[in-house]
Amino acid sequence: MATEFPSELGCLATLPRVKLFSGKTPIQPMPVLAKSCGAQSKFFVKRDDCTELAFGGNKVRQLEFYLGKAFNQNADTILITGAVQSNFVRLATAGANKLGMTCHVQLEERVKTDNPLHHSSGNVLLDQLMGATLYSYPDGEDEAGADRQLGQIADDLRAAGRRPYIIPLAPGHPPLGALGYVVAAHEMLKQIDKNKLAIDEIVVASGSGNTHGGLLFGLRALGSSIKVTGICVRRDAASQKSRLAKRCLEIAELLAVSSKVTDDDIILIDDFLAPGYGIASEACMKAILLAARTESLMLDPTYTGKSMAGFIHRAENVPSNSGLLYLHTGGLPEIFAYQDELREAMVAGVDA
């Protein structure tokens, strides 16, 4: 998939990549949400929930590079690990299907819940519908162990004559997925320029670091000083900052360029992380309901609900007439796994 990129992005155009969506998502205004928040700022949303493949989401951009490498290596099977309601797992299965590969997915128990919907609805249902082979991993906070277990599954598949490709979870591997958001940074800057938008700050969920890190790296490489604020959804701000700093250096190494990201560029807020990964707070539920009932944006309790709560918080703390852009990373199927909690929130009137 050959694409032209500026020289500031190094060897990006030469790296293996497959096409999994049409290549662009819109930036839209959110005036009703801004008015409901009493904000003096202008609100915009980058609709990466509209990346087309199997309910879409940010992982589609990331998978174009992971699956590009797998395709180049003549793999016939994709292996990936993630939370039970992982959007990455769902989209890896979808992408593998589109390329004529099979997908083996390992689901980690990251969220302590006795709700049967968590293990049967949402992304799990879609994984099964698309024919993924499912495995379980009991520890949700052991990235290295989850990767080792994937390696054992891959060994078994090789012994059976398959050609597996592993998409790793833990740090220490080339962050091919982050390149999808280096591409997105290039796309966003062109849209901002073409539509003459005044964007002062972008707010994004910060989890694995591939979306946040790739976007920040790409913006700075292309000379943009737009502030990028990451809302922590998996770990605290101090831990995430270290992860992001390493991720940006790894991206620079992949692209054979110097990183222009400074320590001050890595901005993180962990006020909306509690009570933990995959567990919604009252602020998260308020954000989900407000976004749905103003701009008809569908958000999930794990990633986008928390990042929208952070976005609304930032709107309360910026100068008047600032331009704030929310990066909607998708996650729509998770809504159905959390339907009981969402109904409870509506009954409780947390949006009041």
pLDDT mean by block of 10 residues, the chain; 352 residues = 85 98 96 95 97 97 98 98 97 98 97 93 98 95 93 98 95 94 98 98 97 98 98 97 97 98 98 95 96 98 97 94 97 96 88 48
Number of other CB atoms surrounding residue 250 within 10 Å: 21
Number of other CB atoms surrounding residue 225 within 10 Å: 8
Residue-level pLDDT at 3: 74
Q: pTM of the full predicted structure? A: 0.96
Residue-level pLDDT at 1: 56
Give me the active site residues, please. 86
User: What whole-number distance in Å separates Cα of residue 54 and Cα of residue 11?
Assistant: 30
Residue-level pLDDT at 273: 97
Task: Identify which of 16, 6, 145, 4 has the alpha carbon closest to the alpha carbon of residue 81.
Answer: 145
Residue-level pLDDT at 352: 43
Residue-level pLDDT at 349: 77
Residue-level pLDDT at 171: 85
User: What whole-number distance in Å separates Cα of residue 177 and Cα of residue 182?
Assistant: 9
Give the domains, in start order, of the chain with CATH numbers: 7-57+175-348 (3.40.50.1100), 59-167 (3.40.50.1100)
